[in-house]
């Protein structure tokens, strides 16, 4: 039996998902895409898990891209299917009802940057480089890079990264809004787990509502987005967590959220 392309480890309510192909710089082949999809399905359905952290194995790469060796033999139809396979997986991550943090510990190029961008938050080590270098292979991004990068960094930066294929450093990625935080490499795991712990202690239904509102708002007009926000805001008033949160505030104590 071949080695699993993923390592799964739970730290309390935080599940750490590690892409485990360090000899291939954690490149995304079809088997890895399918394993990731299944892993996020499982995390979404597990009531004990409140946050997911995604990272890559080894010292060099978060995910260095899609698996070029596998892609090079694909026909046009197979190439489209491979793109759709990756997009479905990344859409699954983006629509997770629980926060997903990308712990970007090394190169995040091509499919790797696309994978990081579908996560809700991204923390990068200060030595990291990110980019969409598909142009150098005679390709374009296929896992959503042209769309998510556009929404995060804007038209000019997206065209620059995609047309030139040149990587940028973590500091510029932060400036462009591609990552949320940049920290020293030695502090990356501690800072990521600190944030994950903070989110794991927050109200799960409120976290889900905020993720849903932002996802809907990113894809619709403001009136529709406002209407959706109001509906979610009202719905959460039926939760025990909302009563616990407001009562704890008035009683000047720390709330204990249960996700109900």
Phi, psi of 221 (to 5 degrees): -75, 165
Q: What is the fold, at CATH topology level, of the domain defined by 6-200? A: 2-enoyl-CoA Hydratase; Chain A, domain 1 (3.90.226)
Residue 1 has pLDDT above 50, yes or no: no
% of the chain exceeding 70 in pLDDT: 99
pTM exceeds 0.85 for this model: yes
| Confidence (pLDDT) at 2 | 56
| Confidence (pLDDT) at 115 | 98
| Confidence (pLDDT) at 149 | 97
Residue 3 has pLDDT above 90, yes or no: no
CA of residue 199 relative to chain centroid, distance: 15
CATH of segment(s) 204-250:
1.10.12.10
204-250 and 6-200 share a CATH fold: no
CA neighbor of 148 nearest in space, from 181, 175, 115, 123: 115
Mean of pLDDT over the chain: 96
Pairwise CA distance, residues 238 & 242, whole Å? 8
Contacts of 79 (CB under 8 A, 6+ apart): 71, 142
Give catalytic residue positions: 114, 134
Between residues 201 and 1, which one has the greater pLDDT? 201
Distances in Å between the alpha carbon of 22 and those of 6, 82, 86, 128, 177? 11, 22, 20, 16, 27
Pairwise CA distance, residues 228 & 215, whole Å? 11
Name the residue ranges covered by the structural domains of the chain.
Answer: 6-200, 204-250
């Amino acid at each position: 039996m071949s080695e699993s392309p993923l390592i799964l480890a739970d730290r309390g309510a935080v599940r750490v998902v590690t892409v485990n192909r360090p000899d291939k710089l954690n490149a995304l082949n079809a088997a890895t895409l399918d394993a990731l999809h299944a892993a996020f399905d499982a995390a979404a359905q597990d009531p004990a898990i409140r946050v997911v952290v995604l990272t890559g194995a080894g010292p060099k790469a978060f995910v260095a891209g899609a698996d070029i060796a596998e892609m090079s033999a694909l026909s046009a139809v197979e190439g489209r299917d491979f793109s759709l396979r990756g997009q479905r997986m990344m859409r699954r991550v983006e629509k997770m009802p629980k926060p997903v943090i990308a712990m970007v510990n090394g190169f995040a190029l091509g499919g790797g940057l696309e994978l990081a961008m579908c996560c809700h938050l991204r923390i990068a080590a200060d030595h990291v480089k990110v980019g969409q270098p598909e142009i150098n292979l005679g390709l374009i991004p296929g896992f959503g890079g042209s769309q998510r990068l556009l929404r995060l960094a804007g038209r000019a930066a997206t065209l620059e990264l995609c047309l030139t294929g040149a990587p940028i450093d973590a500091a510029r990625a932060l400036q462009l809004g591609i990552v949320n935080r940049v920290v020293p490499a030695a502090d990356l795991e501690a800072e990521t787990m600190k944030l994950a712990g903070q989110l794991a202690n927050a109200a799960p239904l409120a976290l889900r509502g905020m993720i849903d509102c932002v996802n809907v708002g990113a894809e619709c007009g403001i009136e529709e987005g406002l209407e959706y926000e109001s509906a979610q805001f009202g719905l959460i008033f039926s939760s025990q967590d909302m009563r616990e949160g407001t009562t704890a505030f008035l009683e000047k104590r720390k709330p204990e959220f249960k996700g109900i």
